[in-house]
Amino acid sequence: MANQSQPWNIVWITGASSGIGRDMALKLADEGVTVVASARSQNALNDLASCNSNIVPQPVDVTDLAAMRLAVAHIESTVGPIDLAILNAGVWHPLGARDFDADKVVQSMDVNYNGIVHALDALLPNMIEQKRGHVALVSSVAGYRGLPKAVAYAPSKAAVILLAETLRHDLDRMGVKISVINPGFVDTPMTKINEFPMPFIITSDDAANRIIAGLKKGKYEIAFPWQTNLMMKLIRLMPNWLLFWTTRTFMMSKH
């Protein structure tokens, strides 16, 4: 049985060693949820677990399918059935045509997309059989349309948005909830490297609150802040000629 203040007893978060994932882990643990926190950095996860005894560290690399299957089996046998999985691990490499780098493009797809696929492979059979559970896929408003510098990132996030949409048709009828989370700019270690303006940037704490609130309401798409979401949804509606004119005029340097 879930406790009274929120709908989950056990939440698994990938990418929990820093940024938004870490803040979500701390908030949910404060509310009495048992949070299994995953990432590659064992030390950071141990640090996190030392902040709250409701946090259980479970190091795993999301790009390793066998390790992900083992991690989920271990969580379910030692902690209990996962009520909510927030598949949040991600990497961002600002990249365009001039510095195109196959390793970075492939790594982005491996972590941002295949990492989620690996988690779903491990989670869905049990959830479907038991007609229960909630999976939340962290994508980005960057997945709505291909914008400059996002050669590695945007395709991986667009794929996540379509993965959620495609799965929802089936999962809806199987008693399993699916959500897709599309943040705009959030101030985390990921965005520290950015040298361009980041309009409407919010704190990681704020992002964690918005995601948890949206998941509690059972929302399918959780996109924020509204200004960035609206701007990116309008860009999504642009015909190709207008998109390329807009980026050429307002977003690209002249060389």
Ligand X SMILES: NC(=O)c1ccc[n+]([C@@H]2O[C@H](COP(=O)([O-])OP(=O)(O)OC[C@H]3O[C@@H](n4cnc5c(N)ncnc54)[C@H](OP(=O)(O)O)[C@@H]3O)[C@@H](O)[C@H]2O)c1
Catalytic residue ranges? 153
Residues 136-155 that bind ligand X (CB under 6 A): 138, 140
Shortest distance (Å) from residue 189 CB to ligand X: 4
Of the CA atoms within 13 Å of residue 20, those in its CB half-sphere come to: 28
Site stretch for ligand X (CB under 6 A), options 19-27, 50-58, 76-84, 119-127: 19-27
Site stretch for ligand X (CB under 6 A), options 4-12, 144-152, 189-197, 223-231: 189-197
Where is 69: in which H helix or E strand? helix 65-78
User: Does 209 sit near ligand X (CB under 6 A)?
Assistant: no
- Confirm if 56 and 35 have CB atoms less than 8 A apart: yes
x-or-dash string of contact with ligand X, 79-118, rule CB under 6 A: ---------xxxxx------------------x-------
For residues 156 and 232, what is the distance between their CA atoms, to the nearest angstrom? 17
For residues 170 and 163, what is the distance between their CA atoms, to the nearest angstrom? 12
**Nearer to ligand X (CB atom), residue 14 or residue 179:** 14
Shortest distance (Å) from residue 22 CB to ligand X: 7
User: Does 183 sit near ligand X (CB under 6 A)?
Assistant: yes
Peptide bond into 225 cis (omega under 30): yes
- Return the structure tokens found at 188: 């985390």
